[in-house]
Amino acid sequence: MKPIKVGLLGLGTVGTGVVRIVEGHQEDLVMQTGSPLKIEKVLVKDRSKARNISVSEDKLTEDPWEIIYNEDIDVVVEVMGGIEPAKTYILEALARGKHVVTANKDLMALHGQEILAKAADKSCDVFYEASVAGGIPIIRTLIEGFASDRITKIMGIVNGTTNYILTKMSQEGVSYEEVLKEAQQLGYAEADPTSDVEGLDAARKMTILATLGFNVQVSLDDVSVRGISSISKEDILYGQKLGYEVKLLGIAECRDDSISVTVQPTMVKKSHPLASVNGVFNAVYVYGEAVGETMFYGPGAGELPTATSIVADLVAVAKNQNLGVSGRRLFTPYKEKKLKSDEQVDYKNFILLHVEDDPGVLAKIAKVFAEHEVSLESVLQQPNPHNPKAEIIIITHDANQASMKKVLEDFQTLDVVHKVKSVYRVEG
């Protein structure tokens, strides 16, 4: 049996996991693919660095072109991260007829179309299961598992760092700043956490999921993004009192061939399965017209969960190569992109207002909602000994974004409203 030879770009946490699984599961991999998988070369920054895995010295290289230009290598696995030089290496590998497996969500979200076009031109495979939700096989599921269905909504927790922070705030009543510092110390958050906490990481993942789910080429600019840095302990406490947990959700919807994609903190009803997804775990909820509601849950990051997805892609590459069908399973969006307007996007809203504690205040507030045809599901006045103003929590029925924007604009000029403290989408 001729081995499938692999060139690995990167030997960090995930790269180490790939080596462990390939070398430790060789018998199973041969049974699945018909060929041994062999790590031929590994790109590292420093060959002399001490590592927690044993890799033969002759397999290590500091020169990426020893992998890209090596005619014996069949597959290039990219686990470096970042846009460049990863993009250059991948495109050059494809140009030389090599298949590619990558975990690079940033690259696939921003340049996936170019990479897949190059792969199609060269009849090569490009797989990127590990780019979204770590060990959860959500990409393969969307492409293959839902091939006979029409997906109407994808909603999920796709960033473990923010989910860890919000879980800690909810369960221990601590502030955002305190939990962020702890997450950085534990290695869950980067020294510069902007990409995670401001929703950019989740937005890139939702770009990929929406493109696959709706067969439309979605770009990062199409995603409305809001992070978690402004969430307060009070917001979480009030949500809990009303039966909600705050989660950073990516939500992609398709109705009448028009789509919307958003990442935002959301009040999730405690009875909904996503409300109980805690810590660094991820979960993706998929709605299909035929199958109904399904949920996929698991670790969203880490050495072995992410490496498992990468090796699963290696297995797919090997199978295709042995069957002579490489490059035929590439995903190509075929529908025209039509984005929903603000008038077409509707959902329930949670609104926390600081208002004057006087008679007639509720009537004035209700009048604003009525003027913009937004109906109310519930209204709660909550005493707060630390706030001399009255605090009113309002849950609306489904209201379109255009109307809600007008309501919030009117509140800015309404004399009885001291402050619009918080506004959140409500799901479940």
Sign of the C-alpha dihedral computed for residues 402, 157, 296 and 427 taken in this order:
negative
> What DSSP line would sit under 102-145, residue for residue?
E--HHHHHHHHHHHHHHHHHTT--EE-GGGSSTT--HHHIIIII
CA distance readout (Å), 71 to 6, 67, 75, 231: 11, 9, 10, 53
Sheet with 126-127: list strands edge to edge: 60-61, 37-43, 4-9, 75-78, 99-102, 126-127
Contact 22, 311 (CB under 8 A): yes
Q: Which SS3 state, helix, strand or coil, does residue 161 take?
A: helix
Q: Looking at the chain, how many residues does it have?
A: 428
Q: Which residues 6+ apart lie within 8 Å of 31 measured at CB?
A: none
Contact 133, 196 (CB under 8 A): no
Whether 205 is catalytic is: yes
- Residue 143 has a CB neighbour count (10 Å cut-off) of 15
**Distance in angstroms (rounded) separating the CA atoms of residues 302 and 202:** 17
**Distance in angstroms (rounded) separating the CA atoms of residues 249 and 257:** 22
**Distance in angstroms (rounded) separating the CA atoms of residues 330 and 99:** 12
Token reading at 239:
């949500």
> What DSSP line would sit under 269-333, residue for residue?
ETTSGGGG--TTEEEEEEEETTTEEEEEEEE-SSHHHHHHHHHHHHHHHHHHHHHT-TTTT----
Residue 287 phi, psi dihedral angles, 5° rounding: -105, 125
Strand 281-288 and strand 151-157: pairing?
antiparallel
Catalytic residue among 41, 87, 98, 205: 205
Beta bridge partners of 79: none
Closest CA to 22 of 43, 38, 3: 38
CA distance readout (Å), 258 to 1, 150, 153: 49, 13, 12
Task: Give the residue numbers marked as catalytic.
Answer: 205
